[in-house]
Chains A and B, each alone.
Chain A
Amino acid sequence: MTTATDPAGAMDLGPVRAACQEAGVVLDETGGIGGGPAARPATEASLGNLIALLTDRSQQSPIRLVPTGGGGQLRWCRPDATLAPAGFLQLSMGALLGDPSATGVVEYVPGDGTLTALAGADLSVLRATVAEGGHRLTPAIFGSCTLGGVLASGRSGLDRHSFGPTRHHLLGMRMIDGTGRHLRSGGRLVKNVTGFDLHRLHAGGRGIFGPIVEASMRLMPAPEAEQYVTSPPAASTSAAVELALAIRGATTIREQGLFVRDRVVHVLLSGRGRQVEADRHRLEGLVTGLEEHDPGPGAEAFHLAGERQSAVRISTVPSRIAGTIAALEASIGGLTGAVIQPGVAQVDLPQDLISGASAWPSLLEARVSVRGTVPEPLRPGLTATVAPAGPESRWTRRLVEAFDPAGLFQTEGFPARS
C-alpha cells in the first residue's frame, strides 16, 4: 500500500487531523515512538470510530496504521514503522488506560488464577499485581513492554521452557478490526472451546488484523523456591550447547529455563522448595563448578540475558541444534548463544556475525523458522524456505481481506506469502 508521502515517507496529516477530530481522538503529531504521529484514543469507542473513518476514506486518503504499546517490539515486529515513523499513524494503546497511574487491570481473580487487562497495560505492573496474589504471569519478559505488544509480537519468555509459548496462556481477547468492529473471542476461563479462536490469529499477528484492546491470561502459581545457576564458561558455544542438551535429556532434573549465552550454560530451577534442592543436587552431578545467583536482582538479569534480542533467531528440533551451531561456528565464528527447550531449540545470531553467508545452505537443509528482520543478502534464500504453500497463502489473504479490507494495518513481508 502506498500513501501520499514525501520522499522521507511522511504522510499527509491533513486527513488524519480531520478524522481524529471527528472521532474525538487526540492527535500528537510528533510525540509517537521515533517522533512519528500518534493517535491517543481515550475510549475504545473513539478508537473504533477513528479506524472506521480512516478505512472509509482510505481511497481518497491512503494511510498506514500501526498499533503501539511500549515500542519495544517494533524494531523486529514492524520494522517498516521503525524505519519510517513519519509514514505511519501510531495507535497508542496506552492511552486507553486513561490516568497515567492506572494499571490497566480489568479483573484479577486470584481464586480462579486468571487476569484480564487492557492491551496497553505495562507487563511489569501486571506482574507485580499478580505477584501479590501469589501468581506469576507468563511470559516472564522483563524490560519495558505492554501486554498487547507482547501478544501481538508473539514473543515468549524463558518460561516457555516449562509453560510453553505465550499464546498457550491466552484465554481470550477483545479487539477492534480494520473496519472498526469491536470483537470478542474466547473468554476469561482456564478452559473454554466456545467458538473459533479468533484471538489466536492476533497473538503473533503483529497487529495486521487491528489492535488488541484487552486480553485474558491464565496465571501460574508463583514458585515456592527458585535458583538461578550458571556453569563455568565452556571452550566453545558448541560445547556449552552439548552440556545444555545433557541437562535437558536428564529427565530427573526439572529445569524450568535453560539457555547458553557467551559459552555459559544458564539454568533456572523452580518449584517446591525441597524439590528445587533435590534438582540442584542432581544438576551438580552433571555440571561441576555451578555458580548460584541472587534470586532477587539475579532473576531479572537471568531473564534479560536469555532474552537478549538478536538479529536472527533460528528454530529447529533439539537434536539438530548442536550440528547447526557447529556449522555456524566453523563458518562465521562466535555466536551469542542458544535457548534449549523440551521440543525446540533456538540459536541467536547477532547482526555483526552474519556476513558469512556460506553457513546458510547447511542451515536451510534443516527445517528452520526465522524470527527477526532477515538481513537483505540472506532474504531470498530464507523467504523461499519459509514461504507458505498455496492454500495457506490463500487463507491468509482472505483473512486480511475480511478483517482489514482497506489494508491499513498491513506490513511488508508479513505474513510470508507464496
Chain B
Amino acid sequence: MGSDGKQISRRHLAELERIVGKKGVRADPTARSAYESDAFMLQRASAEVIVLPRTTAEAAAAIKVLREAGLVVVPRGAGTGLSGGARPVENGAIVGTARMRDVLEVNAEDRYARVQAGVVNVHLTAACADAGLFYGPDPSSQTACTIGGNVGNNSGGPHGFKYGSTNRHVLGLTMVDSRGEVIQLGGPGAAGDGDLDLLGPVVGSEGMLGLVTEVTVQLLPRPEKVETLLCLFESLDACCDAVSEMIARRLEPSAIEILDRLTIEAVEASVLRAGYPDNAEAVMLVEVEGGDEEVDATSADVIEVARAFGAFDTRRTTDPAERKRLWAGRKGAFGAMGRIAPDLYVADVVAPRTRLREIVSAATVACRERNLKLANVFHAGDGNLHPNISYDRRDADEVRRVLEAGRIIMEACVAAGGSLTGEHGIGLEKQDEMCLVFSDDDLEAMDQLRAAFDPDAFWNPGKMLPVRGCREIHTRPLPVQAPAAEDAS
C-alpha cells in the first residue's frame, strides 16, 4: 500500500489478469520484492503490482486499467540499470517487458530489425547473424539487458566508440502513452531529415515519456575482418595517455577499453578467466574492424602508439574463439568483482578524452582517502569511465563513503568539462548533481519537454530531474565558456 493508502483494487487486478493472463500480474509481496530495485541497490521501494504484458495491445489495455486505478507506472526491462531508473515509486506499478521477447522481423535487404522491447540485446544480434548482419550497441550487460531498456538509457557499450549509442541505431518506436493510445514514431525508410525529431528526445528519456513496446533498429553488415589487440602496460596512467594519443592521432578502431590490475585479478580468478596476464598494471583491449587493408593499417598504428607510451607487450588475434574469450573477460568484469565484496557501485562519468588520466587519478585519490576498493574498467575510447567501488551495503558507514566518493568523481569530471553519465542515465542516483551541469531554466525546460509528452506525470515520476530546485540543493552549474563574439564585444 502506498503512503496515501492507495492500493489497487481486486476489480482492477482481475481486469489486469483478464488482459495479460494470470502469469502476467504479480501482486503478492514475495513476487513484488524481486522488483524493489534495479541494479542500483542502494534505494529500494515496493510496487503495488507488477504487470507483464505480451504485446503492445495488452500493454495499452493494461495502461488504461492502471490509470483508472490511480497508479503511476515505472517501465522496466531486465532491471540491469545502474542508476535506479527502474526502481518502483510510491503508488506505482511496474510494467515490465519480460514477456515481450519476440524478434518480429529481420529485413536483410533493407538492414533493419523490428523487435519487441523485451528482446535481450545479444539475442537480437544472434537473430540476424545468419543474414551477415549485427546490431551495433553492445552494453556489457548485453546477455541480460533488453532493447527497450537500451532505448530508455540510450545505452552504449565498448563498440560505441565506432558505432555510437542506441540513439544512432533506432529507426522507429512503438509507444503507449498515458491514455493507453499506441503511437508509431519513425520507421524504416523514413529519412527524418527535415522533420521534427520526436524520436530523438524519447531515446534516453529513462522511461519518463511513455512505454516503448516495439523498436525498429538498423542493422550493420558484419565486417570483413575483425582483429582484437591486447596491449599491456606497467602503469594505468601511461595506458590512459596512450588512449588520448590514439584519439589525437584520429585512429579509428571500433573499441578501446581499459582494465586495471584489480579488475584483471578479479576476472582471472573467476569463471570468466580470459587469459589476461598477471604482470600488467593495466590492459588495453582494442578491436579493429573493416576491410583487410584497413584493419592491418589501423592495428599497426595502434600498436605503434601503445609501444611509444610504454606498452611492454602487445598481442593481436583474429581467431574468433580467442577474441570471444578476451571479450568475455571484459564484459564479465562487473560480475567478477563480486569476488571482492558483496556489492558494487558502478560509477559512470564521461571525461574529455584529453583528460582521462586526470579523472582516473581523482577517482583513485577519492577512494584511497575513504579506504575504499576501486577497480577501473571503462570505455576509454569514448572517455566514458566506470570507477567501480566494491562495498557491503550492510555497512552504513561504508555506503556513506561510497556515495561521497561517487559524488567527488562526478564533480571532478564535470569540472574538467565532462558529464554526469555516459550510458547509465541519471535515474535516482544523480538527480541532485544535475544542478552541476544545468541551470534552473535548463531543468525547467526539460520538465516542460517531459510534460509535453506526459502532462499527468504518469510515467516514472520523480526520476532524472531534481525534485528540489537547484537553489535549495546549493549546487550551481559550472560556468559555460563565453562565446568568442561576446568576448570581443
Footprint of B on A, CB under 8 Å?
42-44, 76-77, 96-99, 102-107, 109-113, 118, 134-135, 153-156, 160, 164-168, 174, 177, 181-185, 187-198, 200-201, 203-206, 213-214, 221-222, 251-252, 254, 271-275, 277-279, 313, 315-320, 342-346, 366-369, 371-372, 389-392, 395-396, 398-399, 401-403, 414-415
Contacts and interface: CB of A to CB of B under 8 A. Distances in A.
B420 A194 contact: yes
B144 interface: no
B193 A156 contact: yes
A366 B187 CA distance: 12
Given A112-B353, A205-B196, A194 B110 contact: no
- Counting chain B CB atoms within 10 Å of each CB, which of A43, A187, A279 scores highest? A187
A113 B252 CA distance: 12
11 contacts: A76-B194, A112-B247, A118-B485, A189-B383, A194-B420, A197-B167, A197-B204, A251-B221, A279-B291, A317-B189, A367-B189
Contacts of B218: 342-343
Contacts of B154: 193
A187 B419 contact: yes
Interface stretch (B9-17, B89-97, B321-329, B433-441): B433-441
A134 B248 CA distance: 9
B441 A183 contact: yes
A372 B191 CA distance: 13
B244 interface: yes
B295 to A, nearest CB: 9
A389 B221 contact: no
B197 A201 contact: yes
A319 B222 CA distance: 20
A367 B294 contact: no
B250 A192 contact: no
Contacts of B59: none
B480 interface: yes
A118 B484 contact: yes
B126 interface: no
- Counting chain B CB atoms within 10 Å of each CB, which of A97, A201, A372 scores highest? A201
Interface string B68-111: 00000000000000000000000000000000000000010111
Interface string B436-452: 01110111011011111
Given A106-B484, A165-B193, A343 B160 contact: no
Given A154-B193, A213-B483, 7 more contacts: A111-B352, A189-B417, A191-B384, A193-B153, A195-B465, A196-B464, A343-B171
A290 to B, nearest CB: 19
A97 B201 CA distance: 29
- Counting chain A CB atoms within 10 Å of each CB, which of B179, B183, B194, B350 scores highest? B194
Interface string B142-155: 00000000000110
B188 interface: yes
Contact of A191 (B112, B156, B290, B484): B156
A405 B250 CA distance: 45
B183 A111 contact: no
Given A344-B189, A392-B185, A109 B352 contact: yes
A205 B43 CA distance: 39
B350 A184 contact: no
For the complex of A and B, the 3 pairs showing the least CB-CB separation, nearest first, are A200-B200, A221-B250, A317-B189
Contact of B485 (A96, A154, A200, A343): A96
